[in-house]
Amino acid sequence: MSDNDKTRGIFPPLSRRGMLLGSAALSASLFMPKGLRAQDYPTAQVNTSGLAVTDDTVTVGILHSVTGTMAISETGSVQAEKLAIDQINAQGGVLGRKIQFIQEDGASDWPTFAEKARKLLVNDKVASVMGCWTSASRKAVLPVFEQYNGMLYYPTFYEGLEQSPNVIYTGQEATQQIIAGIDWVTNEKGAKTFYLLGSDYIWPRTSNKIARKHIEDKLGLKVVGEEYYPLGHTQFNSVINKIRLRKPDVIYAIVVGGSNVAFYKQLKAAGIDMTEEKPVLLTISVTEDEIRGIGGENIEGAYACMKYFQSLQNENNDTFVAAFKDMWGSDMVIGDVTQAAYLGPWLWKLAVEKAGSFDVDKVREASPDIEFPQAPEGYVRIHENHHLWSRTRVGRAKADGQYEVVFETEDLVEPDPFPEGYQ
């Protein structure tokens, strides 16, 4: 199958891959509604707002960066969304209609994201969009989705302080990741001083603002340095020298995209051995996807606070990992955002079926309390604030590029995108 075929949403006849997808779908179907017949849901009734819905198909959009510095992170999201769509189609689709997709490239450029979002909603009339990664890209498309009443399923952990009727946030917000991670490293590692480091755009700066408030105002601890660098930056020796001089207990690193490759290689070359835990490195931006580029030997010993790691041991995740590798290659890895992206098409399907309609207003109204017990991360539920209840986990990077899970919350953490005292 060519890349062009994948982009147009065309898949080959059932093969070994198809058989595995079918097995996964069969397993999932034990817990999900059976495939619904399109003739029971006349198009004129389930599509009253002119969306790209026919008697046989419904078209959605996929909008990520497959070129530019963010491609290293967003490629996995595209692959996960296509896998979910393929599995849903193997079950019979949504309200009896097979899902088609139109894929657009945001090209790691925020105005391009806005332009492509408008094209998908206005020209293509897609019923929903799975997409974006950086907060800058999400902020760029948000006015477009609100103006044209589209529905975006956004997969990335982010800084919170946002809630839109036109977005379902399938990643974690600040209280589930940033604050939870700092509490963990303080309680478990006895950390008292932090050096904050990030890429220079909305998410790292806002996340570190929240982190500093928590470290200084809530915990009474100290931030000894804070630095930002442009996306795509590759020269970190200056800040690494500052870190060595100030000797923080924790390097709190939220560098994104391809810059991670240079940062971790230079960190190791400078003699900072994270396996020694002096200092501890805690990241909320390096998933298994980024480690493929960094090299496991260059980040071994670092900690990451997220909700999903590929190494999670449960039946749902075993099935998901097997299907993903069979579709995209045995050497592929799956990170937190990739898994969160996989949730988007499934949560949209469940909301459409609950609403009995593709109309965005009805899908939005049906979304709160949607449950997805088959999520690879484990049971999730949509909160009325459009974020997900989920567990917080901490993993430690290994040389083989995987994380060993060293902590997870006992219960699901309620999403709170506007925590009091952090705005």
User: At residue 163, what are phi and psi to the nearest 5 degrees?
Assistant: -155, 120
User: Which residues face 103 on adjacent strands?
Assistant: 62
What is the model's pLDDT at position 291? 94
Mean of pLDDT values over 281-286:
96
- Work out the average pLDDT over 146-171: 97
Biggest alpha carbon–alpha carbon distance for the chain: 70
Mean pLDDT of 122-136: 96
**pLDDT averaged over the chain?**
91
Secondary structure (3-state) at 303: strand
pLDDT value of residue 29: 43
pLDDT at residue 13 is higher than 50: no
The predicted structure's pLDDT at residue 34: 56
From its phi and psi, is residue 286 left (phi > 0), alpha (psi between -120 and 50) or beta?
beta
Q: Of 139, 134, 147, 142, give the one whose Cα is nearest residue 107.
A: 134
* Helix (H/G/I), strand (E/B), else coil: 419: coil
Q: Which structural domains are found in the chain, ordered by start?
A: 46-172+313-390 (3.40.50.2300), 177-306+395-408 (3.40.50.2300)
Residue 14 has pLDDT above 50, yes or no: no
Q: How many Cβ atoms sit within 10 Å of the Cβ of residue 10?
A: 12
Specify the pLDDT at position 35: 63
**pLDDT higher than threshold 50 for residue 23:** no
393 membership: H or E segment, kind and range? strand 393-397
- pLDDT (0 to 100) of residue 352: 98
pLDDT in tens, 239-251: 999 999 999 999 9
Say which residues have a Cβ less than 8 Å from residue 310's Cβ, sequence separation at least 6. Answer: 288, 317, 321, 333, 334, 335, 402, 403
pLDDT at 33: 54
Average pLDDT of span 190-197:
98
Q: Calculate the dihedral angle through the C-alpha atoms of 301, 302, 306, 312, rounding to the nearest 10 degrees.
A: -20
The whole-number average pLDDT for the span 343-360 is 98
**Mean pLDDT within 362-369:** 98
Kindly indicate the confidence band of residue 408, based on its pLDDT and cuts at 50, 70 and 90: very high
Cβ–Cβ < 8 Å for 339, 314: no
Inform me whether the pLDDT recorded for 323 exceeds 90.
yes
CA atoms within 13 A on the CB side of 363: 31
User: 284 in the Ramachandran plot: left (φ > 0), alpha (ψ -120 to 50) or beta?
Assistant: alpha
Question: What is the dihedral sign for C-alpha 367, 54, 375, 311?
Answer: negative
Burial class of 149 by CB neighbour count within 10 A (0 to 12, 13 to 18, 19+): middle
pLDDT of residue 282 exceeding 90, the answer is: yes
Residues 65-78 have pLDDT tens digits of 999 988 888 999 99
% pLDDT > 90, the chain: 86
Q: Which residue did the predictor score with more confidence, 256 or 23?
A: 256
Nearest to 88 by CA among 362, 352, 414, 416: 352
Residue 162: per-residue pLDDT: 95
pLDDT band at 10 (very low <50, low <70, confident <90, very high): very low
Q: Give the model's pLDDT for residue 8.
A: 38
Q: How far, in Å, CA of 260 to CA of 290, rounded?
A: 7
At residue 57, the pLDDT reads 98
b/e per residue 64-86 (b: at least 16 CB within 10 A): bbbebbbbbbbbbbbbbbbbbbb
